[in-house]
């Protein structure tokens, strides 16, 4: 049973859709190009999610039977009108039998529809669950080259909002597609059994509605695009004001900020109202063309009823059937947009799954074993290494270096010189595109993953911590380590006083991303982690941001103790670190331009010497000051 246009379903869908359309994420990444066409997305999607196909035919068969339920009432009307009053006499037994039978059918179809709905929901939810976990796992297995700062948000969106778009579609859209298209097909079939001429009239009346709907929809989509752009503009302006609020306030620029924001807000309003025009008009199209169909059916039935052999009941039933058709048409035109969004989301998700995992653990072939790394401090040989991030230029170019076991190495260079990438390659967080890295004499890509993680430790600059206790954060580095081993790690680094100063000692919560601790303190935790693992090669990224003097001292002291008996490679931001090292590696524009001891490199006109000179600039001034004194 369907009203002329179901105003609620219409409202529910369109409101939700208008919200989504204006909130679709605005991002420009090139993933989309890889899988073109909706069909390709569907094919790949079904291949990726076999859960979706399981029992799909039974579900569709159910949907057909359920859809038939919507046609029962018009058929009953026809039966009662045509056969309930045979020759002007009331045929009570027929009417009550027909009504009783229909009531029974309606109830049993409701029970069946519950079953069919559950099947759809279960399939959809199982698919969403599996897909989400698969994408998440895949992203974690991607090379570090994919995890650049600018792509982080995109990757999170793949696991959250993109999959949610799909889930929303699976809950509303998918079911709606199946039910509504079967309703349309069945309605047309039933209509044809009454009269093919009148069916033709209806179809002819609706045909011109399709291009009109399509046209309106295109305009609407364009209008929503405009809304998105203007929303982004407005937010950019607010964001600029908020981040620059100190300047705005300090320089009395309030009026300027106000005017600019007002302009953006007003521009957004205009875009919204333009979109609202189409949003408001879209739904009337089905109703208007439907009324033309009703009028057409009436005129043809009245003027030519005897020729086409149609009675009163059939004509009235036809009028109701036309109305049954209206709802699915309106709903589908609405869902088309939701579908496009979902397909776009699906495409993005699938594109992530298509990115090959390039840091894979070595496959164990028959009879071979994965190579473990030796214990103790490890030597490093880098030979002819090139590296490039996806779709980018080479960031490392033909880098070769020999680092003896137990050496203290400082890596220096300007931002973007490739020194951080070099460090990542030593830990195999990314694989070089050319060349080879040997650690402890073993080619790094042949080393067993477990052994590598134990023997090579990276201490990142931003000591990210998980939202659990400090103790658990240290344990992450060596699963199975006992509490006393963790205590001992802090003790051996001379950090017992620091632990004692924490509110709950090692049980103190680190907070989200480790926010409860300062940057320097987070590095202390990372150092304890490295100490616990007994690694033979440490790769340290020195903090650039200021650390308070006390933590600074604790850090350098702990580092000294940690470095004993290990090979250390430090990305140095301070020349004092470089001064104290055995070997300085100087990077410039992706090349290793100089290597040697500080004393040798600091004289002459090389890159390192220039860096050193700029530092000396200060000391000279200090010298001047002392002369004055």
Q: Name the residue with tokens 């004092």.
A: 576
Among 44, 46, 121, 188, binds another protein (CB under 8 A): 121
Closest contact distance (angstroms) between CB of 234 and another protein is: 8
Angstrom distance (rounded) from CA 275 to CA 277: 5
Q: Could you say which of 49, 63, 69, 337 contacts another protein (CB under 8 A)? A: 69
Write the DSSP assignment of 81-139 as a string of letters: HHHTTGGGS--HHHHHHHHHHHHHHHHHHHHHHHHHHHHHHHHHHHHHHHHHHHHHHHH
Asked whether position 210 contacts another protein by CB under 8 A, the answer is no
Which residues, numbered 157-196, are part of the site for another protein (CB under 8 A)?
A: 159-160, 164, 167, 171
Min dist. Cβ of residue 36 to another protein (A): 27
Residue in 493, 550, 500 with CA at minimum distance from that of residue 527: 493
Site for another protein contains 625 (CB under 8 A): yes
x/- binding map, residues 328-357, to another protein, per CB under 8 A? ------------------------------
34 binds another protein (CB under 8 A): no
> Residue 377: what are its φ and ψ, rounded to 5°?
-70, 145
**Among positions 202, 506, 575, 585, the unique one binding another protein when judged by CB under 8 A:** 575
Residue placing its CB nearer to another protein in the complex, 19 or 57: 19
Hey, which residues between 240 and 299 contact another protein (CB under 8 A)? 240-254, 256-258, 261-262, 265-266, 269, 272-273, 276-277, 279-281, 283-284, 287-288, 290-292, 294-295, 298-299
Helix axes 174-194, 312-354, angle to 10 degrees: 150
The whole-angstrom separation of Cα 533 and Cα 619 is 41
Q: Cβ of residue 114: shortest distance to another protein, in angstroms?
A: 5
Q: How far is the CB of 183 from another protein (least distance, A)?
A: 12
Question: Contacting another protein (CB under 8 A), which of 415, 500, 503, 599?
Answer: 415
Does residue 456 contact residue 537 with C-beta atoms inside 8 Å? yes
Minimum distance, C-beta of residue 191 to another protein, in the bound complex (Å): 17
Give 165's contacts (C-beta < 8 A, 6+ positions apart). 20, 341, 342, 344, 345
Q: Which two tokens stand for residue 614?
A: 């700029």
> Which residue's CB is nearer to another protein, number 58 or number 236?
236
> Within a 13 Å sphere around the CA of 224, how many CA atoms are in the beta-carbon half?
21
The stretch among 27-35, 188-196, 388-396, 445-453 that binds another protein (CB under 8 A) is: 445-453
Please name the residues in contact with 589: beta carbons below 8 A apart, sequence gap of 6 or more.
397, 417, 418
Residue whose CB is less far from another protein, 326 or 493: 326
Nearer to another protein, 363 or 627 (CB): 627
Any contact of residue 615 with another protein (CB under 8 A)? yes
Stretch that binds another protein, among 207-215, 398-406, 491-499, 572-580 (CB under 8 A): 572-580
Of these, 481, 555, 572, 592, which contacts another protein (CB under 8 A)?
A: 572
Whose structure tokens read 């995992």? Answer: 357
7 or 441: CB nearest another protein: 7
Q: How far is CA 371 from the centre of its chain?
A: 36
Nearer to another protein, 499 or 584 (CB): 584
According to the binding rule CB under 8 A, does residue 549 interact with another protein?
yes
Q: Supply the DSSP symbol for 362.
A: P
Q: Which of residues 368-387 bind another protein (CB under 8 A)?
A: none
Cβ proximity to another protein: between 400 and 576 the closer is 576
Residue whose tokens read 């919200």: 19
The count of chain residues that interact with another protein, using the rule CB under 8 A, is 168
Q: How far apart are CA 421 and CA 387, in angstroms?
A: 8
Q: What's the rounded Cα separation, in Å, for the pair 402 and 44?
A: 46
Q: Report the distance separating Cα 217 and Cα 219, nearest Å.
A: 5
Select 93 or 366, whichever has its Cβ closest to another protein.
93
- Shortest gap between Cβ of 387 and another protein (angstroms)? 16
Chain residues 475-494 in contact with another protein, contact rule CB under 8 A: 476-477
Long-range contacts formed by 549-557: CB under 8 A, 24+ apart: 551/518, 551/520, 551/521, 551/524, 552/520, 554/494, 554/495, 554/498, 554/520, 554/524, 555/520, 555/523, 555/524, 555/527, 557/493, 557/494
Min separation Cβ 280 and another protein, Å: 4
Residue showing tokens 């045909």: 207
Pairwise CA distance, residues 356 & 348, whole Å: 15
Q: Taking the complex as a whole, how short is the minimal distance between the CB of residue 38 and another protein, in angstroms?
A: 25
* Interface with another protein, residue 441, by CB under 8 A: no
Q: Give CA–CA dist 358/590, Å, rounded.
A: 21
Nearest to 324 by CA among 63, 49, 589, 68: 68
Binding to another protein (CB under 8 A) within 489-528 occurs at 512-513
Stretch that binds another protein, among 397-405, 436-444, 458-466, 488-496 (CB under 8 A): 458-466
- Residue 95 as a binder of another protein (CB under 8 A): the answer is yes
Contact call for residue 301 and another protein (CB under 8 A): yes
With contacts defined by CB under 8 A, name the span among 40-48, 196-204, 399-407, 614-622 that binds another protein.
Answer: 614-622
Question: Residue 343 CB, nearest distance to another protein (Å)?
Answer: 21
């Amino acid at each position: 049973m369907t009203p002329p246009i179901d105003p609620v379903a219409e409202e529910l869908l369109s409101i939700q859709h208008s919200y989504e359309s204006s909130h679709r994420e605005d991002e420009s990444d090139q993933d989309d190009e890889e899988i073109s066409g909706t069909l390709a997305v569907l094919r790949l999607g079904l291949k990726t999610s076999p859960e979706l196909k399981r029992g799909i035919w039974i579900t569709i068969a159910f949907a057909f039977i359920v859809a038939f339920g919507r046609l029962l009432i018009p058929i009953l009307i026809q039966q009662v009108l045509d056969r309930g009053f045979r020759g002007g006499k009331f045929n009570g037994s027929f009417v009550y039998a027909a009504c009783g039978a229909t009531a029974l059918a309606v109830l049993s179809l409701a029970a069946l529809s519950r079953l069919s709905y559950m099947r759809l929901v279960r399939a959809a939810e199982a698919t969403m669950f599996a897909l989400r976990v698969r994408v998440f796992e895949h992203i974690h297995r991607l090379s570090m080259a994919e995890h650049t700062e600018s792509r982080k948000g995109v990757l999170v969106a793949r696991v959250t909002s993109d999959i949610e778009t799909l889930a929303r579609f699976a809950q509303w859209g998918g079911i709606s597609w199946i039910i509504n298209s079967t309703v349309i097909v069945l309605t047309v079939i039933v209509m044809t059994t009454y009269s093919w001429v009148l069916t033709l009239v209806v179809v002819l009346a609706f045909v011109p509605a399709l291009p009109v709907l399509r046209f309106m929809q295109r305009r609407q989509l364009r209008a929503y695009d405009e809304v998105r752009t203007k929303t982004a503009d407005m937010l950019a302006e607010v964001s600029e004001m908020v981040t620059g609020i100190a300047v705005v306030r300090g320089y009395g620029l309030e009026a300027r900020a106000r005017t600019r924001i007002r302009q953006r807000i007003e521009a957004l309003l205009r875009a919204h109202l333009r979109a609202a025009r189409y949003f408001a008009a879209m739904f009337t199209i089905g109703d208007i063309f439907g009324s033309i169909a009703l009028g057409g059916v009436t005129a043809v039935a009245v003027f030519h009823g005897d020729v086409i052999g149609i009675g009163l009941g059939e004509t009235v039933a036809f009028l109701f059937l036309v109305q049954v058709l209206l709802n699915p048409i309106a709903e589908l035109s609405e869902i088309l947009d939701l579908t496009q969004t979902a397909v776009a989301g699906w495409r993005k998700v699938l594109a992530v799954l298509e990115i090959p995992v390039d840091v894979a653990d070595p496959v164990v072939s028959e009879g071979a074993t994965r190579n473990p790394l030796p214990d103790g401090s490890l030597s490093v040989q880098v030979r002819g290494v090139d590296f490039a991030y996806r779709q980018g230029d080479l960031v490392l170019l033909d880098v070769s270096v020999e680092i003896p076991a137990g050496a203290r190495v400082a890596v220096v260079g300007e931002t973007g010189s490739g020194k951080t990438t070099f460090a990542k390659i030593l830990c195999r967080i990314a694989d070089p595109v050319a060349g080879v890295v040997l650690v402890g004499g073993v080619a790094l890509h042949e080393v067993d993953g477990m052994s590598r993680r134990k023997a090579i430790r990276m201490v990142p600059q931003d000591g990210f911590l998980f939202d659990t206790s400090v103790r658990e954060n240290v344990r992450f580095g060596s699963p199975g380590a006992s509490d006393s081993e963790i205590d001992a790690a802090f003790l051996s680094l001379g950090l017992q006083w620091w632990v004692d100063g924490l509110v709950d000692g090692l049980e103190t919560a680190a907070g989200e991303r480790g926010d409860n601790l300062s940057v320097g303190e987070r590095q202390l935790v990372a150092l304890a982690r490295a100490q616990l693992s007994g690694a033979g090669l440490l790769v340290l990224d020195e903090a650039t941001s200021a650390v308070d003097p006390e933590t600074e001292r604790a850090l350098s002291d702990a580092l000294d103790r940690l470095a004993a008996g290990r090979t250390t490679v430090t990305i140095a931001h301070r020349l004092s670190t470089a001064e104290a090292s055995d070997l300085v590696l100087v990077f410039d524009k992706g090349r290793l331009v100089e290597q040697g001891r500080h004393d040798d490199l600091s004289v002459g006109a090389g890159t390192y010497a220039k860096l050193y000179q700029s530092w000396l600039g200060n000391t000279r001034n200090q010298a001047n000051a002392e002369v004055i004194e």
